[in-house]
Amino acid sequence: MAKIVGIVLGLLVIADTLRSGHAAGTYGVTKASWQPLCEATTDLRTIPSDVAANLKAGVTKVKNMILDSTRAAIYSQLQKGTKEAARVITISLYMLGAALRAVSYLESTDIINGVDLAAKSAYLKGHIDEFLKVAEKTTRSGEHCLLAAGDTGAATFAGESLNRVNCPTTMVDTTPTKASLKKLSSKGHKGAMTPSNGGSHEHQASGTYRCRLFSKSNANGLAHSGGNVEDGIKWAGGYYSLHSTPDNPLTVADLRETPDTPREASTAWQQVFTAISKAPNSESATYTNNSKAIDSDTEATELLSQVLHNEKGENAEDIKKMRDDIFTTKLASVVDSTFANIHNAKLPAKISGIDKGKSLGEITAPSDLAALLAALLRKIDTEVATLKKKLETTNERPDPVSEATCNTIKGEADCNRAAACRYNTTETYENKKFQFNASKASASGVPAPQPQTGGTETTTEKCKGKGEKDCKSPDCKWDGKECKDFSFLVNMKLALSISAFMSLVAF
């Protein structure tokens, strides 16, 4: 009996020695090794929706800036000619410029970076999920590729958990939902293990060695039964690499945030880390309404320089004086109150189908705001065109003609050709034969002489015969050849200007 026991014990020792020396490349991987993959795929699943949420939020902020800019432009027309109008139009132009800069950033940077991050995340997640599913199902003689806690037994899936570790190996619908990454960052994986790709091989368990996924051997690995596998086999996006020597242990990528050796930029993992560093962020200054910081914003300073000086790059101190004149030195509080005035302003009449009394803040449809602004600008344009036409007509009218004007004509033919004069054949006094004819003047569109309320000398007579040096305002003006009555034209232009201004205020 003692001999039998000794033989059995000897056989067990020999078997254990053979087992311990078996190809290390076929060991199953420990929980500490595969758990970072589950943590990564959990984060990666949230990235597309997070990208969508940040892009949508950024676009919404840009849209709101454009809407507020339009409201401010409308309010400036309702307050035309006031200090408030100058303040509001400055805010409107500043917000429009900020919105357009944000749109340019979206177009050139955030949309591209967001799509890039979503694509690379989905690519890496696909490789991780495929490996985990295959490895979990791969067994040999009761031994497994993914080991449970304690490095004994198989790690198996139960729903979206692998050995009680959250491990969702599916994709979800992309919805605009913000999420914070728990393990992945722009630097690496916060939960990554320290790879020991030396003699101890903590990522694999020497007690279980039958995982053909982890060796290219034709005895125990992927090339079993006489096949051949070339070098370069990788799993999980390059997390695991098969050794070039058959049955040597796996090499595990160093995903830590501070790796011992810098990772290659071309690896799927590093590309994701780099893409995370460029992820769209709707909370960035690009999408912020900085109207209350106009005093410190270089873009605002340049805008005021162009608008008020018609020049670029004017002296900042000069711009500050103009800015203080518009907003006072308490800019932030003035901007706040101005926005409140804009949103609370009510329409003085029904305009573009929008009822009288509705506040600008209540009007949210972009088409309604656009129609409202267009109506106000069109009304002003029409009135300016009418005023311009009246002024042009006034400038073209001939000077008033009086009896004295007709008396200066010599010769019957010249007198009768004049628009407001006629030759009187019955008049015996030669200088009185050339007389003013009111009916003829009216038919010819020539203004009659203005009645005088003070003194007997008419304005025309005051100006007549004066030299250029003596021809002075307010009644006279030198036209390049002679001194002419200017009072009529001035009064007409003033009246038209006042009329146009009052009509805008009334609107």
Tens of pLDDT along the chain (507 residues) come to 444 434 333 433 333 333 332 334 557 888 989 999 999 999 999 999 999 999 999 999 999 999 999 999 999 888 887 888 888 888 888 889 889 999 999 999 999 999 999 999 999 999 999 999 999 998 877 778 898 876 668 899 999 999 999 999 999 999 999 999 999 999 999 999 988 776 556 677 765 556 878 877 655 667 565 566 677 789 999 999 887 776 677 889 999 999 999 999 999 999 999 999 999 999 998 998 877 666 666 776 677 667 666 666 666 666 677 677 677 667 777 888 888 888 898 999 999 999 999 999 999 999 999 999 899 888 888 888 888 888 777 665 555 666 666 777 666 766 766 666 777 777 765 555 555 555 655 555 555 555 444 444 444 566 777 777 777 765 677 766 777 765 544 444 444 443 433 333 333
Nearest to 72 by CA among 47, 48, 55, 97: 97
Q: What does the pLDDT look like over 173-190, one tens digit per residue?
A: 999 999 999 999 999 999
pLDDT digits (tens, 9 = 90+) for 104-121: 999 999 999 999 999 999
Q: List, as one string, the DSSP characters of 414-461.
A: HHHHSTTEEE-TT--SGGGSEEE-HHHHHHHTPPPPPPPSSSS--HHH
Is residue 8 assigned to a domain?
A: no
Please say which residue of 234, 250, 277 terminates a domain: 277
Of 226, 256, 277, the one marking the end of a domain is: 277
Q: Are residues 268 and 412 in the same domain?
A: no
Whether 477 is in a domain gets the answer yes
Q: How far is it between the farthest Cα atoms of the chain?
A: 176
Q: Residue 220: inside a domain, yes or no?
A: yes
The domain boundary, picked from 235, 259, 277, lies at 277
Record the tokens describing residue 20, joined without a space: 């311990």
Domain that includes residue 109, residue range:
15-173+180-277
Residue 300: half-sphere exposure toward Cβ, Cα within 13 Å? 22
Residue 215 lies in a domain: yes
Q: Are strands 161-162 and 165-166 parallel, antiparallel or unpaired?
A: antiparallel
The sheet with strand 161-162 has its strands ordered as 157-158, 161-162, 165-166
Could you tell me if residue 206 is inside a domain?
A: yes
Query: Within a domain: residue 106?
Result: yes
Contact 186, 271 (CB under 8 A): no
> Considering its fold, how many domains does the chain have in total?
2
Full-prediction pTM beyond 0.85?
Answer: no
- Residue 453: inside a domain, yes or no? yes
Phi, psi of 81 (to 5 degrees): 90, 0
- Beta strand pairing call for 240-241 and 251-252: antiparallel
Does residue 433 fall inside a structural domain? yes
Q: Write the DSSP symbol of residue 291.
A: G
We report the CATH number of the domain holding residue 37 as 3.90.150.10
